[in-house]
A = this chain, B = another copy of it.
Amino acid sequence: MFDFEIHYRCPHTSARVASFSTPHGKVNTPQFMPVGTLGTVKGVTSSQLEEINAQMILANTYHLHLQPGESIVKESGGLHHFMNWNKPILTDSGGYQVFSLGKLNKIDDGGVSFKNHRDGSNIELTPEKAMQIQMDLGADVAMAFDQCPPYSATKSEVENACRRTHDWLGRCVTAHTKSDQALFGIVQGGCFPDLREESIKSVLNFDLPGIAIGGVSVGEPSSEINKIVRFLKPFLPAKVPRYLMGIGTIPEMAMAVANGIDLFDCVLPTRLGRHGTALVRDERWNLRNARFRNDYQPLDTSCLCETCLYYSRAYLHHLIRNEELLGLTLLSIHNLSHLIRFSRSMTIAIKESCFSEDFAPWQKDSIARHTW
């Protein structure tokens, strides 16, 4: 059910073009997944997501557990039906959010208890509970429950978190009994190569249909992400999708794809959109800027999304300046389209054996020059 077929390989890097089958259709990789935290990609309808060729979206177990609760989602026919998205969905495990958003009360080998960031009530999460919630949500892919330490953690803290994550992975695998849902394991280990190596080996003990690199995007500089991915490359299993969690900038994605990564997600495109910022090539444009006041060109002349086809920079400037909802929606649509289109361009380049030439992330100019 969760076949992963590799169609093309870059002759010069570890980049590959593949497809990952799920109960809700195939995901072509490399692919960027829009984030729909609460079962909604903020400000964007599902038909607008289809129009920009979104293939798989991510939703957050932590947030959906708090609101509306997995029982409501399950009763309504599952997350696909609830949010009207009939293509693949991946849910994270809540691990990242528990450690970054929640106010932790207690953490031990059993699980964690934390304060609901909304109403202060006490919530407990264990590997078994995280699996139950994700099975109730009913996404195509569930993620293992992990402990995700911040970049500032000491080596012994990261080591502890790794040990716990590996122990929890075993419990997740046992508790996860939904055959039409894939369970992906998560590699932790912070910036410590020996811990990363140990972690990926532990994950590989389980024959899972996908693997994720977690513990990135936790405050470390971009160069560290590249180091971690390059270090893990020789250990990555060949025949399953590889997902770099929380990453979604052009240079980071290009570098990761060159090192064999297939899937990405990031809240940045929608978050930036809601703050009036557009992703154009490898730049970020603040549409509030007065220089756009009478700029009647399309936002990105190379982009074919609804925003770029039908609206001008001057109009977007006007909407953002006046805090019009439509501005946030139109910029979110464009920013998501930008990264999905970037995924597609990398795919074509890999197929045509020009990926290393066109997208080599160490040649930063080539990305900016390339018309994708």
Interface residues, chain A, with chain B CB atoms under 8 Å away: 38-48, 67-68, 72, 75-77, 82-84, 274, 293-294, 296, 306, 310-312, 314-315, 317-319, 321-322, 324-326, 328-330
Between A46, A311, A321, the greatest number of chain B beta carbons within 10 A of the residue's beta carbon is seen for: A311
Shortest beta-carbon distance, A344 to chain B, in Å?
Answer: 22
Q: Which residue of B lies closest to A38 (CB)?
A: B322
Cα–Cα, bound, A163→B94 (Å): 68
Q: What are 17 A-B interface contacts by the 8 Å CB criterion?
A: A39-B315, A42-B326, A44-B326, A45-B48, A45-B329, A45-B330, A47-B306, A67-B318, A67-B321, A68-B314, A72-B293, A76-B296, A76-B314, A82-B312, A325-B325, A325-B329, A329-B329
Write out the residue numbers on chain B whose beta carbons fall within 8 Å of the beta carbon of A39.
Answer: 315, 318
Cα–Cα, bound, A46→B310 (Å): 9
Shortest beta-carbon distance, A2 to chain B, in Å?
Answer: 27
Write out the residue numbers on chain B whose beta carbons fall within 8 Å of the beta carbon of A48.
Answer: 45
Q: Are B76 and A38 in contact (CB under 8 A)?
A: no
Given contacts A45-B330, A306-B45, contact A76 B325 (CB under 8 A): no
Shortest beta-carbon distance, A291 to chain B, in Å?
Answer: 13
Q: Which residue of B lies closest to A319 (CB)?
A: B40
Write out the residue numbers on chain B whose beta carbons fall within 8 Å of the beta carbon of A329.
Answer: 43, 45, 325, 329
Cα–Cα, bound, A276→B274 (Å): 20
Q: Are B325 and A328 in contact (CB under 8 A)?
A: yes
Write out the residue numbers on chain B whose beta carbons fall within 8 Å of the beta carbon of A315.
Answer: 39, 76, 82-84
